[in-house]
Structure 1
Amino acid sequence: MYDFLSYRPVVADDARMLLDWRTAPHITQYMLTDVPYDIVRQTAWIERCNARDDYQHAIIRIEGRDVGYASITVTDRHSQIGEIGVYIGDPEAPKELTIYNFVGTLNHAFFTMGLHKLVNHIVDWNSRTVRLQQFNGYTHVGVLKDHARKGDIRHDLHIFEQSAVNWAEFRRKFNDNRNWWGEETVYKG
């Protein structure tokens, strides 16, 4: 990973920080769902997530400072398919973080968790992330028209996919093979 970027496990004490980020206007505008501001509920959610074997999540850090959140959900255990979710909660975080945080997350999903493929769904109003998906090696495979509803408005939902074999080749441009915990990952094909 880039020296300035690291990850740490999510703990129950992160509930307020995550909830502050998740309910901030610069984050909620890109989310399909809104969550109530409820610390008890958020703490319980973290504890449930930490107990799951089909979900992993981490706090993204810049130079030791918490700035964002990343998650990997196994959506099809048998076929080894997953989906990632990422947001940068700290509006002061460097813009390049949105590009490079995917390296550790994709290494973690494919080469630590052993997923075969990631399939991400991005709402059309999040045009920056739509562009970043392709920058990070994803293939745009389609658009679900009028699929997502935010408030009273329906939006298109872009579908992107990336396989472990494609990421093993594509990640060479970043020259970083580490997962969330800083461990070197190897593609076992």
Structure 2
Amino acid sequence: MMHSTTLRPLREDDLAMLLRWRNAPEVRRHMYTQHEISEAEHRAWFQRSHDNPNRHLLLVEQKGQPFGFVNIQLLDNEAQRGEWGFYLSPEAIQGSGQALGFTALEHAFDVLKLHKLCGEALFGNKRSQRFHERLGFIQESHLRDHHFDGHTYHDVIGYGLLHSEWHACQGV
């Protein structure tokens, strides 16, 4: 795992870099929205998300250099439940995903005080499925033909991780 990995809020001056990452074919093909996103669409998403107090847009950095993005959406404040999405820079080095995952989960459970964090992966995205499982997530659903990308239906795998499970994995 990479040491000294930090999170910081996404800023407007990060948008061009983030859009470049998001539109990279190796990132885009595993997203619900697979078309190439325009700058106007990206800015509109940022403004909507930035104005929403339940959205946490976070840049993941190693020694001040950004290498990933995490989006945590608070779904139910009373139940302390949220969902996450994430991706790495196409140039991220080996091991970056694990650093992103651990740092984001520490934030979700220790800073945001979530009881449960949920995630999803398209069925064909085996890498994301293995990633969730390595972090301790439990598969909670297999939703058949759940997402239509404009051409094809895709199954979606749903994951959940409880605060207690995360801390048990960390030896806390």
TM-score (norm 1): 0.82
Is the CA contact 1:110–1:164 (under 8 Å) kept in the aligned structure 2?
yes
Which amino acid in 2 is paired with 1:11? R
| Structural RMSD (CA) | 1.9
Give the structure 2 partner of residue 48 of structure 1: 48
Unpaired runs of 5+ in structure 1?
A: 173-186
After TM superposition, give the deviation of residue 105 of structure 1 in Å.
0.7
Task: Flag the 1:13–1:106 CA change in 2: closer, same or farther, 3 A.
Answer: same
Distance 1:32 1:46 in 2: 17
Distance 1:42 1:120 in 2: 22
After TM superposition, give the deviation of residue 40 of structure 1 in Å.
3.9
Please say which of residues 92-101 and 80-89 is displaced more in the overlay.
Answer: 92-101
Match of 2:27, SS? Answer: helix
Give the structure 1 partner of residue 65 of structure 2: 65
Task: Flag the 1:35–1:59 CA change in 2: closer, same or farther, 3 A.
Answer: farther
Is the CA contact 1:124–1:158 (under 8 Å) kept in the aligned structure 2?
yes
Any idea what the Cα deviations from partners look like across 1:101-124, whole Å, max 9, x if unmatched? 111111111121111101111101
Task: Flag the 1:21–1:113 CA change in 2: closer, same or farther, 3 A.
Answer: same
Distance 1:92 1:133 in 2: 21
Overall identity of the aligned pairs, in %: 28
After TM superposition, give the deviation of residue 151 of structure 1 in Å.
3.3
Give the structure 2 partner of residue 110 of structure 1: 109
Distance 1:78 1:29 in 2: 34
Give the structure 1 partner of residue 140 of structure 2: 141
Give the structure 1 partner of residue 119 of structure 2: 120
Any idea what the Cα deviations from partners look like across 1:37-91, whole Å, max 9, x if unmatched? 43344234323323322111211123322222111101222321111111012x2
Distance 2:74 2:83 in 1: 7
Which amino acid in 2 is paired with 1:160? Y
Which amino acid in 1 is paired with 2:137? Y
Unpaired runs of 5+ in structure 2?
A: none
After TM superposition, give the deviation of residue 30 of structure 1 in Å.
0.3
Is the CA contact 1:13–1:43 (under 8 Å) kept in the aligned structure 2?
no
Give the structure 1 partner of residue 82 of structure 2: 82
After TM superposition, give the deviation of residue 4 of structure 1 in Å.
4.8
Which amino acid in 2 is paired with 1:147? H
Task: Flag the 1:52–1:124 CA change in 2: closer, same or farther, 3 A.
Answer: same
Any idea what the Cα deviations from partners look like across 1:115-146, whole Å, max 9, x if unmatched? 11011111011101101111100111220111
After TM superposition, give the deviation of residue 34 of structure 1 in Å.
3.5
